[in-house]
Amino acid sequence: MSITSNQKTAANTVELEIAVSPEELKAATDKVFQRKVKSITVPGFRKGKAPRSIIEKMYGEGIFLEEAVNDLYPKAYREAIEEADIEPVDQADIEFLDADMEKGFTFKAIVTVKPEIELGEYKGLAAEKTIYPVEDGDIEAELGRQRERGARIITVEGRPAQNGDIAVIDFEGFTDGVAFEGGKAEGHSLELGSHSFIDGFEEQIVGRNIGDEFDVNVTFPEEYHAEDLKGKPAVFQVKLHEIKEKQLPELDDEFAKDVSEFDTLDELRADIRDRYTETRKKRSTDELETRLLDQIIDGVNGEIPQVMYDNKVEEMVRDFGYRLQAQGMNLELYLQYSGMDEESFREGFKEQAQRQVKMRLALETIAAKEGLVPTDEEIQAEYERLAEQYTMEVEQLKKMLSEKDIASDLACTKAIDLVRDSAKVTEVTEEKAASQEEKPEKKPAAKKAATKKKTEKPAQEGASDETAQDQED
């Protein structure tokens, strides 16, 4: 293989003309002949025994040529990419120019390559780091959640239902006097005060007694997932069959032994504090890094191929689908439930995809500028860490993840460390950070378009912030 032409035809496009020698082509046709001769029938010869010259005379000299070219060009292309020292970001457009047993063959590859970008400042950036202290109330709240998980459920009689009870009910919902799909259940257990049903539903069960039959009047919210029910009033016919209450375990040393590896409640409290402290430190660091990286991303200058954004969206959609499968759902059902079509669903990933592509390019550029190269020991340690994470053998993982990819990831991590360690960091309290976010930003009059702030979905109600943070990670 040799590169006969290498030229840049656009900002991120390279055109390679690649030649494969006649010797390589002949060797490839020989292999094709050996592979196909057994299936070729020639009159007067047993199947698979006809001489090559007879076959070529009968079917044409090029009978093995096309397949030989198809066998050769992928390897020739990979070698050319390596020799030219370019990094494709998409499948190349291949055009075959000529093929001849005496001269070899040539082909053209039009390659979209990773762009070279320019950066603004990345050292000495100023950013705030929000500190999240662990309060005694956080510890007690976590203990409360653990008590809830260990609660006994007992049936109660002789009193009406109250908040915190579990009501066992039959119900059927009607709009405009007509029962609607999905609005009926029997023997359903509903925790009163959990807000798991439409606003106002649970409140109307409070005060009812076992055996009561009654109507519950509610209005579906405007953002309800079912289009035909959005904003509509509804009546539910309800029968209360049973009232149950939770009996929480005593908060003592025995409780600590039951729910943990510790012998005393004090030890359990200390462990919760340590875990919360580590989680909140990580949250602080992650948020700081995000603020610093946002500044770097804003300073990225260069023409980035659209295909890089498109590929990242595809990757994110695929990962989302994998997570859904792990929960027993697929993307089609999710879209149906959420009321989105596939186009609008994909659209929701575009902004994040653009950020991630720019961030990766920026970190790779910083790593190259600063000579941040991981050692062999660091690469091996990363293989071992990932192997443990995915419960795989290291050697098996090495077949799936190239050393080049691992090294690139580690170099980017080093770049993040450099940016963070060189930054001018001001620590602020959570309260101060929240108050600053609430203040409207003053925008320069000349600036036509403001940068959209990234917002996070709030964690599910009732979950601890530690649990929510773990899910994000």
pLDDT of residue 467: 43
Give mean pLDDT, residues 290-310: 95
Query: Which fold does the domain 152-247 belong to in CATH?
Result: Chitinase A; domain 3 (3.10.50)
Alpha-carbon span 55 to 44, nearest angstrom: 12
Tokens of 185: 């259940």
* DSSP codes, 394-454: HHHHHHHS-HHHHHHHHHHHHHHHHHHHHSEEEEEEHHHHHHHHHSPPP--TT--SPPPPP
- Dihedral sign of CA atoms 68, 73, 74, 78 in order: positive
Q: Environment class of residue 459 by beta-carbon count within 10 Å: exposed (0-12), middle (13-18) or buried (19+)?
A: middle
**Cα dihedral sign for 401, 402, 406, 409?**
negative
Give the model confidence (pLDDT) of 217-272 as tens digits: 999 998 888 888 989 999 999 999 999 999 999 999 999 999 999 999 999 999 99
Would you say residue 134 has pLDDT above 80?
yes
Alpha helices in 65-198, H assignment, sequence order:
65-84, 136-149
Terminal-residue alpha carbon distance, the chain: 46
Q: What angle do CA 215, 216, 222 make, to 5 degrees?
A: 145
CA 199 to chain centre: 33
Least confident among 103-107, 114-118, 438-442: 438-442
The CATH code of domain 281-463 reads 1.10.3120.10
pLDDT of residue 472: 43
d(CA 27, CA 33): 10
**Per-residue pLDDT reduced to its tens digit, 44-100:** 787 777 788 888 787 777 788 888 999 999 999 999 999 999 999 999 999 999 888
* CB of 115 closer than 8 Å to CB of 11: yes
Cα–Cα distance measured from residue 120 to residue 140, given in angstroms and rounded to the nearest whole number? 47
Sheet holding 13-20, edge to edge: 2-10, 13-20, 104-112, 93-100
Rounded-to-integer distance, Cα 206 and Cα 363, Å: 57
Burial zone of 241 (CB within 10 Å; 0-12 exposed, 13-18 middle, 19+ buried): middle
Q: Do 150 and 249 meet the contact criterion of CB atoms below 8 Å apart?
A: yes
Residue 104: CB atoms within 10 Å: 20
Residue 462: pLDDT band (50, 70, 90) is very low
Could you tell me which residues come within 8 angstroms of residue 210 by beta carbon, excluding any fewer than 6 positions away? 157, 240, 241, 242, 243
Domain ranges of the chain: 2-112, 152-247, 281-463
For the cut 70, the answer to whether the pLDDT of residue 442 exceeds it is: no
Pairing state between β 104-112 and 213-219: unpaired
pLDDT tens digits for 352-405?
A: 999 999 999 999 999 999 999 999 999 999 999 999 999 999 999 999 999 999
- Closest residue by Cα to residue 290 from 348, 355, 347, 349: 355
Q: What is the percentage of the chain residues whose pLDDT exceeds 90?
A: 72
174-185 mean pLDDT: 92
Model confidence at 452: pLDDT above 70? no
Strands (E), 157-282: 166-175, 178-191, 213-219, 233-247
Split at pLDDT 50, 70, 90, the class of 444 is: very low
For the record, the structure tokens of 212 come out as 């009561």
Residue 446 reports pLDDT greater than 60: no
C-alpha to C-alpha distance for 165 and 398, rounded to whole angstroms: 54
Tell me the Cα Rg of the chain: 33
- Enumerate the β-bridge partners of residue 108: 17, 95
The amino acid occupying position 330 is N
Mention every residue, 6+ apart, whose C-beta is less than 8 A from residue 328: none
Distance (Å, whole) CA 206 – CA 234: 19
Q: Which two tokens stand for residue 186?
A: 């029997």
Q: Which two tokens stand for residue 369?
A: 């500028």
Indicate whether 12 pLDDT > 60.
yes
Length of the chain counted residue by residue: 473
CATH topology of domain 2-112: Alpha-Beta Plaits (3.30.70)
Torsion of CA 158, 162, 164, 170, to 10 degrees: 80
What kind and span of H or E run contains 392? Answer: none
Residue 110 neighbours by CB under 8 Å, 6+ apart: 9, 13, 14, 15, 92, 93, 95
Average pLDDT across the chain, whole number: 88
Q: Are strands 126-131 and 424-429 parallel, antiparallel or unpaired?
A: parallel
Phi, psi of 394 (to 5 degrees): -60, -45
**Between β-strands 93-100 and 213-219, what pairing exists: parallel, antiparallel or unpaired?**
unpaired
SS3 166: strand
